[in-house]
Amino acid sequence: MSEATLLTLPPAARSALFDELPRAADFSAALQTIERVRQELLGDGLLTVNHVLWPAPADAAEVIDLQRIWSSRPAEYPVAGRKRKTLTPWTRQLLLSGEIFLGEGQAALEQVFDDNRLILSMGLQSVMNVPLVRSGTCFATFNVLGTRAQWSTAQKQQIELLAALALPWVAGHVAA
Protein backbone atom coordinates (compact mmCIF):
# COMPACT_ATOMS: atom_id res chain seq x y z
CA MET A 1 0.00 0.00 0.00
CA SER A 2 1.59 3.25 -1.09
CA GLU A 3 -0.58 5.71 0.84
CA ALA A 4 0.04 6.23 4.54
CA THR A 5 -3.35 5.95 6.19
CA LEU A 6 -4.19 5.63 9.84
CA LEU A 7 -6.17 2.45 10.44
CA THR A 8 -9.30 3.30 12.36
CA LEU A 9 -12.16 1.15 13.58
CA PRO A 10 -15.57 2.16 14.90
CA PRO A 11 -16.07 1.40 18.63
CA ALA A 12 -18.38 -1.58 17.96
CA ALA A 13 -15.83 -3.15 15.59
CA ARG A 14 -12.99 -2.62 18.09
CA SER A 15 -15.06 -4.22 20.84
CA ALA A 16 -15.97 -7.20 18.66
CA LEU A 17 -12.41 -7.80 17.50
CA PHE A 18 -10.51 -7.18 20.72
CA ASP A 19 -13.04 -8.23 23.38
CA GLU A 20 -15.38 -10.79 21.75
CA LEU A 21 -13.07 -12.50 19.26
CA PRO A 22 -10.48 -13.74 21.78
CA ARG A 23 -13.34 -15.30 23.77
CA ALA A 24 -15.02 -17.02 20.82
CA ALA A 25 -16.06 -20.57 21.63
CA ASP A 26 -14.77 -22.08 18.39
CA PHE A 27 -13.72 -21.48 14.78
CA SER A 28 -17.26 -20.88 13.54
CA ALA A 29 -18.04 -18.35 16.27
CA ALA A 30 -14.74 -16.55 15.61
CA LEU A 31 -15.41 -16.28 11.87
CA GLN A 32 -18.98 -15.11 12.52
CA THR A 33 -17.56 -12.28 14.64
CA ILE A 34 -15.07 -11.38 11.92
CA GLU A 35 -17.84 -11.47 9.31
CA ARG A 36 -20.05 -9.18 11.41
CA VAL A 37 -17.19 -6.67 11.58
CA ARG A 38 -16.51 -7.07 7.85
CA GLN A 39 -20.13 -6.17 7.13
CA GLU A 40 -19.96 -3.16 9.46
CA LEU A 41 -16.77 -1.87 7.85
CA LEU A 42 -17.30 -2.81 4.18
CA GLY A 43 -21.02 -3.40 3.66
CA ASP A 44 -22.52 -6.11 1.47
CA GLY A 45 -20.18 -8.73 0.13
CA LEU A 46 -18.78 -12.18 0.65
CA LEU A 47 -16.18 -13.66 2.98
CA THR A 48 -14.77 -17.12 2.39
CA VAL A 49 -11.78 -18.95 3.79
CA ASN A 50 -10.14 -21.68 1.71
CA HIS A 51 -7.68 -24.30 2.92
CA VAL A 52 -4.86 -24.93 0.43
CA LEU A 53 -4.46 -28.65 -0.21
CA TRP A 54 -0.92 -28.88 -1.50
CA PRO A 55 -0.10 -31.88 -3.71
CA ALA A 56 2.67 -34.28 -2.82
CA PRO A 57 6.11 -32.98 -3.89
CA ALA A 58 6.26 -35.66 -6.58
CA ASP A 59 3.24 -34.05 -8.27
CA ALA A 60 5.26 -30.85 -8.86
CA ALA A 61 2.35 -28.59 -7.79
CA GLU A 62 0.89 -28.36 -11.31
CA VAL A 63 -2.59 -28.41 -9.78
CA ILE A 64 -3.53 -27.03 -6.38
CA ASP A 65 -6.85 -27.80 -4.72
CA LEU A 66 -8.60 -25.32 -2.46
CA GLN A 67 -11.30 -26.44 -0.04
CA ARG A 68 -13.69 -23.90 1.41
CA ILE A 69 -13.77 -24.14 5.20
CA TRP A 70 -15.92 -21.07 5.92
CA SER A 71 -18.41 -19.00 3.95
CA SER A 72 -20.61 -16.04 4.77
CA ARG A 73 -22.96 -17.08 1.95
CA PRO A 74 -23.15 -20.88 2.11
CA ALA A 75 -26.08 -21.08 -0.32
CA GLU A 76 -23.86 -19.77 -3.12
CA TYR A 77 -20.47 -20.87 -1.73
CA PRO A 78 -20.99 -23.91 0.50
CA VAL A 79 -18.47 -25.06 3.06
CA ALA A 80 -16.51 -28.08 1.81
CA GLY A 81 -16.77 -26.84 -1.78
CA ARG A 82 -13.57 -27.35 -3.74
CA LYS A 83 -11.79 -25.49 -6.50
CA ARG A 84 -8.98 -26.95 -8.58
CA LYS A 85 -6.46 -24.33 -9.67
CA THR A 86 -3.72 -24.69 -12.24
CA LEU A 87 -0.58 -22.58 -12.26
CA THR A 88 -1.62 -19.07 -13.30
CA PRO A 89 -0.37 -15.61 -12.37
CA TRP A 90 -3.05 -15.63 -9.59
CA THR A 91 -1.90 -18.96 -8.08
CA ARG A 92 1.75 -17.98 -8.37
CA GLN A 93 1.17 -14.62 -6.65
CA LEU A 94 -1.24 -15.70 -3.91
CA LEU A 95 -0.45 -19.33 -3.20
CA LEU A 96 3.19 -19.76 -4.19
CA SER A 97 4.59 -16.30 -3.34
CA GLY A 98 2.20 -15.59 -0.47
CA GLU A 99 1.35 -12.11 -1.76
CA ILE A 100 -2.04 -10.40 -1.58
CA PHE A 101 -4.09 -10.48 -4.76
CA LEU A 102 -6.25 -7.46 -5.50
CA GLY A 103 -8.82 -7.76 -8.28
CA GLU A 104 -10.87 -4.66 -8.92
CA GLY A 105 -13.62 -4.39 -11.51
CA GLN A 106 -15.52 -6.84 -13.66
CA ALA A 107 -12.65 -7.45 -16.10
CA ALA A 108 -10.28 -8.45 -13.29
CA LEU A 109 -12.81 -10.91 -11.86
CA GLU A 110 -13.53 -12.40 -15.29
CA GLN A 111 -9.83 -12.86 -15.97
CA VAL A 112 -9.08 -14.74 -12.75
CA PHE A 113 -12.17 -16.65 -11.60
CA ASP A 114 -13.99 -19.45 -13.42
CA ASP A 115 -17.09 -18.69 -11.34
CA ASN A 116 -17.10 -15.01 -12.32
CA ARG A 117 -20.71 -15.16 -13.53
CA LEU A 118 -21.91 -16.17 -10.08
CA ILE A 119 -19.71 -13.54 -8.46
CA LEU A 120 -21.02 -10.80 -10.74
CA SER A 121 -24.65 -11.99 -10.36
CA MET A 122 -24.29 -11.38 -6.62
CA GLY A 123 -23.40 -7.74 -7.34
CA LEU A 124 -19.75 -8.26 -6.38
CA GLN A 125 -17.16 -6.23 -8.26
CA SER A 126 -13.89 -6.55 -6.37
CA VAL A 127 -11.85 -9.10 -4.45
CA MET A 128 -8.97 -9.06 -2.04
CA ASN A 129 -7.39 -12.48 -1.44
CA VAL A 130 -5.06 -12.48 1.56
CA PRO A 131 -2.70 -15.44 1.95
CA LEU A 132 -2.58 -16.94 5.44
CA VAL A 133 1.01 -18.03 5.84
CA ARG A 134 2.57 -20.43 8.34
CA SER A 135 6.25 -21.41 8.28
CA GLY A 136 6.67 -19.57 4.99
CA THR A 137 3.88 -21.46 3.18
CA CYS A 138 0.41 -20.26 2.26
CA PHE A 139 -1.88 -22.76 3.99
CA ALA A 140 -5.17 -20.88 3.51
CA THR A 141 -6.67 -17.84 1.85
CA PHE A 142 -8.92 -15.18 3.38
CA ASN A 143 -11.11 -13.90 0.58
CA VAL A 144 -13.21 -10.74 0.74
CA LEU A 145 -15.40 -9.69 -2.17
CA GLY A 146 -17.28 -6.42 -2.24
CA THR A 147 -19.89 -4.51 -4.17
CA ARG A 148 -17.58 -1.59 -4.92
CA ALA A 149 -15.38 -1.69 -8.01
CA GLN A 150 -12.35 -0.49 -6.04
CA TRP A 151 -11.16 -0.72 -2.43
CA SER A 152 -9.90 2.37 -0.60
CA THR A 153 -6.55 2.23 1.18
CA ALA A 154 -8.34 2.18 4.53
CA GLN A 155 -10.56 -0.72 3.42
CA LYS A 156 -7.53 -2.72 2.25
CA GLN A 157 -5.92 -2.19 5.65
CA GLN A 158 -9.12 -3.27 7.41
CA ILE A 159 -9.24 -6.47 5.34
CA GLU A 160 -5.60 -7.20 6.17
CA LEU A 161 -6.36 -6.71 9.88
CA LEU A 162 -9.35 -9.06 9.71
CA ALA A 163 -7.20 -11.68 7.94
CA ALA A 164 -4.46 -11.36 10.56
CA LEU A 165 -6.99 -11.82 13.35
CA ALA A 166 -8.52 -14.84 11.57
CA LEU A 167 -5.15 -16.54 11.02
CA PRO A 168 -4.79 -18.31 14.40
CA TRP A 169 -8.40 -19.52 14.25
CA VAL A 170 -7.94 -20.87 10.73
CA ALA A 171 -4.60 -22.49 11.62
CA GLY A 172 -6.18 -24.22 14.60
CA HIS A 173 -9.12 -25.39 12.55
CA VAL A 174 -7.13 -26.92 9.71
CA ALA A 175 -4.73 -28.56 12.15
CA ALA A 176 -7.59 -30.23 14.04
Domains of the chain (ranges; CATH) run 27-175 (3.30.450.40)
The 10s digit of each residue's pLDDT in 130-147 is 999 999 999 999 999 999
20 contacts: CB under 8 Å, gap ≥ 6: 33
Q: How many helices, marked H, and strands, marked E, lie in the chain?
A: 6, 6
Q: What is the DSSP string of 80-122?
A: T-EEEEES-HHHIIIIIS---EEEESHHHHHHH-TTHHHHHHT
What confidence tier does 1 reach under pLDDT thresholds 50, 70, 90?
very low
What confidence tier does 35 reach under pLDDT thresholds 50, 70, 90?
very high
141 contacts: CB under 8 Å, gap ≥ 6: 49, 50, 52, 66, 94, 95, 129, 130, 131, 132
How confident is the model over 27-53, as a mean pLDDT?
Answer: 97
**Whole-number Å distance between alpha carbons of 107 and 109:** 5
Burial of 163 (0-12, 13-18, 19+ CB in 10 A): buried
Give the 3-state secondary structure of residue 153.
Answer: helix
